[in-house]
Amino acid sequence: MRIEQYKEKGLKFDFGKEGFRNGIYFLKEPLSVEDARRKGAEAISVLKKLKAGEGNIKLAGLSAEMKEAFFEGAILADYTFDKYRKKEEESREVVLYVDEREGLDTALKIGEVVYFVRDIINDSPENINPESFSEIAKSLKGVDVFVGDEKWLKENGFNGTIAVGKGSSKPPRVVIYRYKPDKPAGKIVLVGKGVTFDSGGLHLKPAKSIKGMHMDMSGAAAVLGIAKAIEHMKFKYEIVGIMPLAENLPSSKSYKPSDVVEMANGKTVEVDNTDAEGRLLLADALIYSEKENPDLVVDLATLTGAAVVALGELVAALYSREEEDAREFEMASKRTGEYVWRMPLFEDYKEELKSKRADIKNAGYGRSGGSIMAALFLGEFIELERWVHLDIAGPAMLSKPFYYMPEGGTGFGVRLLIQYLRGEK
Ligand code: BES
Ligand code: MN
Ligand code: ZN
């Protein structure tokens, strides 16, 4: 897509009662920032569908934030993943002629970051593995990047990550990046689940559920997206990103059900289900995060199918020990259209995670309350009150497009984090 100066060439858009009349396509007047984003997406989809290819719109009547949102929606909606496609027919370029460019620069930067995240998520799992993900991280400017190899993981007690990665010929890694502005307003650690393929391991997933599991690193990709954003944007917080990376595959070397793994905080975990692997990687990273003495730790993970059952594909499950943190994320959520809904850390369910052979096991009985159970498990590995856990299994990967969210990897979480980290209300 190109955005150019208003020209009266091609189709004309206007705001009014929705629909196509007298050669003009009317978009409903946006009532909120998210609405404006969706109108941007609608304009792009009309241009692509009607084969008009070019269209004009006057944005002068919109507020500054709505203009930015309109551009953002248009840019995000224009995304396609065609790295491996030879056919060009569908990806014809459309042109949007606009009277004003206010907010366009910011929208383009956000777009670049989200495209970066989506491209990593959607890529073939043959190309995205712990090592290659680390290489991408190392190519980013603006942050200091450290990659921990197997030796480092061992020395630092990342035993969950090591266990999960054992079945694969591609060894596990952890990527850690750091950013520090001049006078930081606080220190935030971001943790992202980086399972570059989740087959389930020896508890192999059935055919239907294994599909899409190359996107099980969406949390890590979103956290890496913040490092990408730092190339263009300033943040007021000191930020540390931690992305444990492993491939969960069955083989003669795989970790097994009934294995007991001792974690870096001394707690032992009985592996009840090798498909509950994400929480093992996250536990390592959460333990490690506290060594940084952060004010806040936020983790993002495509953690449970149960979160999708509970909230559907468009909403992430949010867990927080502090009312205020939940509130601030809810605000950032409303603003960005990356929806979260708070779920309870209902302690009584911990009973389900009791093990006879170790301090805790990595999965409870049955499927009920699965997202809560996973969150409670994670809570055993972080003491900090200010911890926010986002189970993004639903919105990280969509089965069909939704406004400016494409089918497949959406990049969910990165705009939410940017909004939160910028601290604008
Ligand atoms: N990566 C999956 C969760 C997932 C499912 C993400 C669907 C996106 C869409 C996770 O590792 C997993 O397999 N979780 C299990 C946990 C269970 C074994 C306790 C699940 O949700 O079934
Ligand atoms: Mn799994
Ligand atoms: Zn997983």
**Ligand 2 centre from 369 Cα, in Å?**
16
Residues 317 and 196 in one domain: yes
Residues with CB under 5 Å of ion ligand 3 are 195, 198, 216, 278
Distance from C-alpha of 143 to C-alpha of 181, rounded to nearest angstrom: 11
Residues 50 and 197 in one domain: no
Pocket of ligand 1 (CB under 6 A): 198, 216, 273, 275-278, 302-306, 308, 363, 370, 393
CATH number at residue 259: 3.40.630.10
CATH number at residue 38: 3.40.220.10
What residue type is assigned to position 188 of the chain?
I
Residues 79 and 127 in one domain: no
**Ligand 2 centre from 290 Cα, in Å?**
25
**Which of residues 71, 102, 133 is at a domain's end?**
102
255 part of a folded domain: yes
**Ligand 1 centre from 119 Cα, in Å?**
22
Q: Residue 100 above 90 pLDDT?
A: yes
Residues 244 and 370 in one domain: yes
Structural domain harbouring 65:
2-85+95-102
Pick the catalytic residue from 205, 267, 321, 350.
Answer: 205
Residues 257 and 330 in one domain: yes
205 is catalytic: yes
Q: What does the pLDDT look like over 245-299, one tens digit per residue?
A: 999 999 999 999 999 999 999 999 999 999 999 999 999 999 999 999 999 999 9
101 is catalytic: no
Q: How confident is the model at residue 86 (pLDDT cuts 50, 70, 90)?
A: confident
Q: What does the pLDDT look like over 346-355, one tens digit per residue?
A: 999 999 999 9
Burial class (CB in 10 A: 0-12, 13-18, 19+), 53: middle
Q: Output the pTM of the full model.
A: 0.98
Point out the ligand nearest to the CA of residue 372. 1
**Which of residues 69, 102, 135 is at a domain's end?**
102
Residues 37 and 149 in one domain: no
276 part of a folded domain: yes
Residues 224 and 320 in one domain: yes
Domain total of the chain = 2
